[in-house]
Amino acid sequence: MKLDSKKMELKKINDNIYKLTYNNVPLNFWTPKILLPFGLDNEYNKYLIRLELDEEKLEQEHFKKILLQIEKNIKDKLELYSNEFKSIIKHRELKKDLVEIKIKTFKNNIITKIEYEDKENNYLKTIYDLPKQSYVKVLLEIDGIWDYRTDKKENNKVGLTVFVNKIIVLK
Protein backbone atom coordinates (compact mmCIF):
# COMPACT_ATOMS: atom_id res chain seq x y z
CA MET A 1 0.00 0.00 0.00
CA LYS A 2 1.49 3.30 -1.13
CA LEU A 3 0.07 6.46 0.38
CA ASP A 4 0.09 9.78 -1.43
CA SER A 5 0.33 12.51 1.22
CA LYS A 6 -1.47 14.95 -1.10
CA LYS A 7 -4.62 12.80 -0.87
CA MET A 8 -4.57 12.91 2.94
CA GLU A 9 -6.78 15.67 4.36
CA LEU A 10 -7.33 17.00 7.85
CA LYS A 11 -10.64 18.68 8.64
CA LYS A 12 -10.84 20.54 11.93
CA ILE A 13 -13.83 19.40 13.98
CA ASN A 14 -13.11 21.50 17.09
CA ASP A 15 -10.12 23.01 18.92
CA ASN A 16 -8.59 19.61 19.68
CA ILE A 17 -9.91 17.17 17.08
CA TYR A 18 -9.22 16.73 13.36
CA LYS A 19 -10.94 14.25 11.07
CA LEU A 20 -8.55 12.40 8.76
CA THR A 21 -9.63 11.34 5.28
CA TYR A 22 -7.78 9.83 2.35
CA ASN A 23 -9.29 10.56 -1.06
CA ASN A 24 -12.31 11.98 0.83
CA VAL A 25 -13.04 8.68 2.64
CA PRO A 26 -11.91 7.36 6.03
CA LEU A 27 -8.53 5.63 5.95
CA ASN A 28 -9.16 1.90 6.51
CA PHE A 29 -6.80 -0.99 5.87
CA TRP A 30 -6.04 -4.54 7.02
CA THR A 31 -3.01 -5.51 9.04
CA PRO A 32 -1.01 -8.54 7.99
CA LYS A 33 -1.20 -11.71 10.10
CA ILE A 34 0.14 -10.44 13.42
CA LEU A 35 0.53 -11.62 17.02
CA LEU A 36 -1.94 -10.42 19.65
CA PRO A 37 0.11 -11.18 22.78
CA PHE A 38 -2.21 -9.92 25.55
CA GLY A 39 -5.79 -10.34 24.31
CA LEU A 40 -8.26 -7.58 25.14
CA ASP A 41 -6.93 -4.89 27.49
CA ASN A 42 -8.84 -2.32 29.53
CA GLU A 43 -7.15 0.95 30.45
CA TYR A 44 -9.08 3.77 32.10
CA ASN A 45 -12.36 2.06 31.11
CA LYS A 46 -11.34 2.03 27.44
CA TYR A 47 -10.74 -1.25 25.63
CA LEU A 48 -7.73 -1.69 23.38
CA ILE A 49 -5.53 -4.31 21.81
CA ARG A 50 -1.78 -4.37 21.35
CA LEU A 51 -0.26 -5.98 18.27
CA GLU A 52 3.35 -7.18 18.37
CA LEU A 53 5.47 -6.20 15.37
CA ASP A 54 7.95 -8.82 14.19
CA GLU A 55 10.15 -6.85 11.80
CA GLU A 56 11.77 -10.07 10.58
CA LYS A 57 8.49 -10.75 8.78
CA LEU A 58 8.38 -8.64 5.63
CA GLU A 59 4.62 -7.94 5.75
CA GLN A 60 4.83 -6.67 9.32
CA GLU A 61 7.85 -4.50 8.52
CA HIS A 62 5.87 -3.03 5.60
CA PHE A 63 2.86 -2.45 7.92
CA LYS A 64 5.09 -0.58 10.39
CA LYS A 65 6.49 1.56 7.56
CA ILE A 66 2.95 2.50 6.49
CA LEU A 67 2.07 3.59 10.03
CA LEU A 68 5.30 5.60 10.32
CA GLN A 69 4.63 7.20 6.92
CA ILE A 70 1.12 8.26 8.04
CA GLU A 71 2.56 9.68 11.26
CA LYS A 72 5.27 11.55 9.32
CA ASN A 73 2.66 13.03 6.96
CA ILE A 74 0.67 14.28 9.96
CA LYS A 75 3.78 15.77 11.59
CA ASP A 76 4.63 17.56 8.33
CA LYS A 77 1.08 18.87 7.76
CA LEU A 78 0.79 20.21 11.32
CA GLU A 79 4.45 21.32 11.46
CA LEU A 80 5.10 19.36 14.65
CA TYR A 81 8.30 18.72 16.50
CA SER A 82 8.99 15.01 16.90
CA ASN A 83 8.67 15.25 20.72
CA GLU A 84 5.11 16.66 20.33
CA PHE A 85 3.80 13.58 18.53
CA LYS A 86 2.65 10.48 20.43
CA SER A 87 3.14 7.49 18.17
CA ILE A 88 0.80 4.48 18.25
CA ILE A 89 3.95 2.36 17.91
CA LYS A 90 5.42 1.70 21.35
CA HIS A 91 9.15 0.98 21.19
CA ARG A 92 10.38 -1.57 23.71
CA GLU A 93 14.02 -2.23 24.40
CA LEU A 94 15.03 -5.89 24.05
CA LYS A 95 11.48 -6.76 22.95
CA LYS A 96 9.42 -6.34 19.82
CA ASP A 97 7.53 -3.08 19.28
CA LEU A 98 3.79 -2.90 19.96
CA VAL A 99 1.02 -1.08 18.11
CA GLU A 100 -1.78 0.14 20.40
CA ILE A 101 -5.25 0.37 18.88
CA LYS A 102 -8.55 1.27 20.53
CA ILE A 103 -11.61 -0.93 20.30
CA LYS A 104 -14.45 0.96 18.65
CA THR A 105 -17.37 1.76 20.94
CA PHE A 106 -20.63 3.67 20.78
CA LYS A 107 -22.40 4.74 23.99
CA ASN A 108 -20.11 2.39 26.00
CA ASN A 109 -21.00 -0.60 23.80
CA ILE A 110 -18.30 -2.32 21.77
CA ILE A 111 -19.14 -2.18 18.07
CA THR A 112 -15.91 -3.79 16.81
CA LYS A 113 -16.81 -7.00 15.03
CA ILE A 114 -14.96 -10.24 15.74
CA GLU A 115 -14.79 -13.40 13.71
CA TYR A 116 -13.03 -16.66 14.46
CA GLU A 117 -11.55 -18.62 11.56
CA ASP A 118 -12.27 -21.82 13.52
CA LYS A 119 -16.01 -21.20 13.79
CA GLU A 120 -16.82 -24.75 14.92
CA ASN A 121 -14.85 -24.48 18.18
CA ASN A 122 -15.52 -20.78 18.78
CA TYR A 123 -19.15 -20.24 17.79
CA LEU A 124 -20.20 -18.74 21.15
CA LYS A 125 -17.11 -16.63 21.79
CA THR A 126 -17.19 -12.85 21.85
CA ILE A 127 -14.55 -10.14 21.83
CA TYR A 128 -14.23 -10.59 25.60
CA ASP A 129 -12.92 -14.11 24.93
CA LEU A 130 -10.15 -12.84 22.67
CA PRO A 131 -7.32 -15.31 23.31
CA LYS A 132 -3.84 -14.23 24.36
CA GLN A 133 -0.91 -15.26 22.15
CA SER A 134 -3.16 -15.59 19.09
CA TYR A 135 -2.59 -14.52 15.52
CA VAL A 136 -5.08 -12.08 14.06
CA LYS A 137 -5.82 -9.85 11.10
CA VAL A 138 -7.30 -6.49 12.03
CA LEU A 139 -9.23 -3.93 9.99
CA LEU A 140 -7.96 -0.56 11.20
CA GLU A 141 -9.62 2.81 10.84
CA ILE A 142 -7.44 5.87 11.25
CA ASP A 143 -10.23 8.17 12.31
CA GLY A 144 -8.47 11.40 13.11
CA ILE A 145 -6.02 13.29 15.24
CA TRP A 146 -6.21 14.70 18.73
CA ASP A 147 -4.24 17.90 19.26
CA TYR A 148 -3.47 19.23 22.73
CA ARG A 149 -0.95 21.96 22.04
CA THR A 150 -0.83 25.26 23.90
CA ASP A 151 1.02 28.54 23.51
CA LYS A 152 3.29 27.55 26.40
CA LYS A 153 4.79 24.71 24.29
CA GLU A 154 5.10 22.62 27.45
CA ASN A 155 3.74 19.09 27.35
CA ASN A 156 2.31 19.61 23.87
CA LYS A 157 0.96 16.35 22.50
CA VAL A 158 -0.65 15.30 19.24
CA GLY A 159 -1.55 11.75 18.18
CA LEU A 160 -3.60 9.55 15.90
CA THR A 161 -7.00 8.17 16.82
CA VAL A 162 -6.99 4.60 15.53
CA PHE A 163 -9.83 2.14 15.98
CA VAL A 164 -10.34 -1.56 15.35
CA ASN A 165 -13.33 -2.12 13.06
CA LYS A 166 -12.97 -5.91 12.79
CA ILE A 167 -10.77 -8.67 14.16
CA ILE A 168 -10.33 -12.06 12.54
CA VAL A 169 -8.78 -14.60 14.92
CA LEU A 170 -6.74 -17.02 12.82
CA LYS A 171 -6.33 -20.75 13.47
- In order along its 171 residues, the chain shows pLDDT tens digits of 678 888 899 999 999 999 999 999 999 999 999 999 999 999 999 999 999 999 899 999 999 999 999 999 999 999 998 889 999 999 998 899 999 999 999 999 999 999 999 999 998 899 999 999 999 999 999 999 999 988 776 788 999 999 999 999 998
DSSP 13-35: -SSSEEEEEETTB-EEEE--SEE
Structure confidence at residue 1 (pLDDT) = 67
Structure confidence at residue 52 (pLDDT) = 97
Identity of residue 142:
I
In angstroms, how far apart are the furthest CA atoms of the chain?
A: 57
- Give the count of beta carbons closer than 10 Å to the beta carbon of residue 27: 19
3-class SS letters over 55-106: CCCHHHHHHHHHHHHHHHHHHHHCCCCHHHEECCEECCCCCCCEEEEEECEE
pTM for this predicted structure: 0.91
Structure confidence at residue 156 (pLDDT) = 87
CB 10 within 8 A of CB 102: no
Structure confidence at residue 171 (pLDDT) = 87
**Residue 137 and residue 159: Cα distance in Å, rounded?**
23
**Residue 75 and residue 37: Cα distance in Å, rounded?**
29
Structure confidence at residue 97 (pLDDT) = 96
Q: Which fold has domain 5-169?
A: OB fold (Dihydrolipoamide Acetyltransferase, E2P) (2.40.50)
Structure confidence at residue 123 (pLDDT) = 86
